[in-house]
Copies of this chain bind each other. A is one copy, B any other.
Amino acid sequence: MGSLSTNSLSFLEPNSFADESKRVIDFIAEYYRNIEQFPVQSKVNPGYLSEMLPKTAPYFPESLDDILKDVTDSIIPGLTHWQSPNFFAYFQATASTAGFLGEMLCTGLNVVGFTWLSSPAASELESIAMDWMGKMLKLPSSFLFSGTGGGVLHGSTCEAIICTLAAARDDALRRLGGSENITKLVVYCSDQTHFTLQKGAKLIGIPPSNFRSLPTSFSTEFALSPETLRAAIEDDIKCGLVPLYLCATVGTTSTGAVDPIEEWGKIAHNYKLWFHIDAAYAGSACICPEFRHYLNGVELADSFSMNPHKWLLTNMDCCCLWVKRPTLLVDSLSTKSEIVGHNSFDPSHPVDYKDWQIALSRRFRAIRLWIVIRRHGLDNLMYHIRSDVEMAKRFEALVKEDGRFEIVVPRRFSLVCFRLKPKHESQGSELNRKLLEAVNSSGRALMSHSVVGGVYFIRCAIGSTLTEMRHVDDLWKLIQEKAKIIYLQDGN
């Protein structure tokens, strides 16, 4: 490609922009075509890349050919391939053509919609897309701009939680009459809640000793019982503390558990806690009528979040947050500035999204979500969810058919939690750790593990965009093959 001429236009000249971009498109398409050939989890050793790349930046420009060659030779071998159809680890980060198209427009237009004025379409499309998504989830109108609430796109659940925690905190401190009361505020969740809540609570200044991670067990399928919650709140009140914030999860990370939203909502209401529902993973499933019941009681929440970048084909990153009282969010996060302007929240005016998030600057993520919804339609998005759940049911059935294995916690969505049954419970961890290691190190599939109620198990999260039934069948054959070897080694 030769060197760039020293002409300011060449940095973004439309013809070379199109030519070079199309070469990268072809490169990515070829990556998708070949993706099954790569080991799902990278086999490189720590520090491998610094052996392959220079220690300092080049002084002169390098060609696109050279750069893409390095991506092939140096970067791709070091990737864990999240888009592989054989990726069954963590929760998926689903990509789609539509998500990619939307991201190209976001990056190509490269507008910064921190206020309405700084790019009106960016703010307005975000509000519209949030109402679309909210209606797809049948959220009550109290969360929608067309009702009395509103929504915003964040990059991650952690950001969404921090913003709502800060809004709750500042509202409480106003009522309590002094910032020294921050040491009295208490945050509640279960021991299955994503650690992002603990990180967020610490970040906004809640003393770590005021964070209540309450115990769950097999008896409630790792949902937190309302009795345990109420008792913890009562204890804290007796000690002179002030219950602040309660986070329920619809689809926990370890097992896909669902906290009892309605009962928690009533408790939150009684004790005046801010009630947040984190449905990062399973929220996407709730666009299907048969899963919507998991959100029953959402009308009792103050805020609700879910991540289309996980299970709704939206590419990284996209977290939807809806709040009932935008005023509280804006009161906590707004800033005055002569240059960018300032408005307090007024429901009759379009939104200045800088006051709904942590940062000032923001990308035009809304166009990505909008295109994902339009290009697929609700019909295909539901098909996508259902197809993953069907594959998970198939995998679950395969596990149940094999007497050596057991399902550890009932499957609700597309996550299957299983293990090899140990002869003695004390060997369970080691046995399954070996099995997981054998599967993952084969490079043919990647799963992860977790521990609940003292039981180590394997998580098979189904839902990568490219995964088909044949991949699930192959995974099961691989697991059986490795299990056989491990059983033989262990003399079983």
The residue that A50 contacts in the complex, of B108, B124, B135, B205, with Cβ under 8 A, is B124
Q: Is A246 an interface residue (CB 8 A)?
A: no
Contact A349 B46 (CB under 8 A): yes
Complex Cα gap A61–B375 (Å):
5
Report chain B residues within 8 Å CB of A4. 375-377, 380
The residue that A18 contacts in the complex, of B15, B29, B67, with Cβ under 8 A, is B29
What's the least CB distance linking A482 to chain B, in Å? 20
Produce 1/0 per residue, A100-113, CB < 8 A to B. 11011101111110
What's the least CB distance linking A461 to chain B, in Å? 10
Given contacts A15-B29, A162-B358, 14 further A-B contacts (CB under 8 A): A8-B467, A11-B97, A16-B97, A18-B25, A53-B128, A57-B373, A61-B377, A64-B375, A67-B371, A82-B111, A195-B360, A199-B358, A204-B204, A338-B450
Complex Cα gap A107–B90 (Å):
19
Q: Is A60 an interface residue (CB 8 A)?
A: yes
Complex Cα gap A333–B199 (Å):
7
Complex Cα gap A100–B387 (Å):
33
For residues 384 through 410 of chain A, which have their beta carbon under 8 Å from a beta carbon of chain B? 384, 387
Contact A316 B363 (CB under 8 A): yes
Contact B124 A49 (CB under 8 A): yes
Report chain B residues within 8 Å CB of A166. 202-203
Complex Cα gap A59–B297 (Å):
25
Contact A32 B17 (CB under 8 A): yes
Question: Contacts A17-B97, A132-B57; is A120 near B196 (CB within 8 Å)?
Answer: no
Complex Cα gap A300–B339 (Å):
31
Contact B119 A375 (CB under 8 A): no
Number of copies: 2
Complex Cα gap A62–B359 (Å):
33
Q: List 20 A-B contacts (CB under 8 A).
A: A6-B379, A8-B466, A11-B98, A13-B97, A17-B97, A25-B104, A42-B121, A57-B135, A59-B379, A60-B379, A62-B375, A67-B371, A78-B125, A79-B121, A82-B111, A93-B111, A99-B107, A156-B361, A158-B358, A195-B335
- A interface majority secondary structure: helix
Indicate the member of A82, A208, A448, A450 with the most B CB atoms within 10 Å.
A82
Q: Is A293 an interface residue (CB 8 A)?
A: no
The residue that A361 contacts in the complex, of B209, B316, B371, with Cβ under 8 A, is B316
The residue that A451 contacts in the complex, of B50, B117, B338, with Cβ under 8 A, is B338
Q: Is A47 an interface residue (CB 8 A)?
A: yes
Complex Cα gap A166–B12 (Å):
39
Report chain B residues within 8 Å CB of A109. 28, 31, 79, 82-83
**Nearest B residue to A132, CB-CB:** B57
Q: Is A80 an interface residue (CB 8 A)?
A: yes
Report chain B residues within 8 Å CB of A133. 57
Contact A315 B17 (CB under 8 A): no
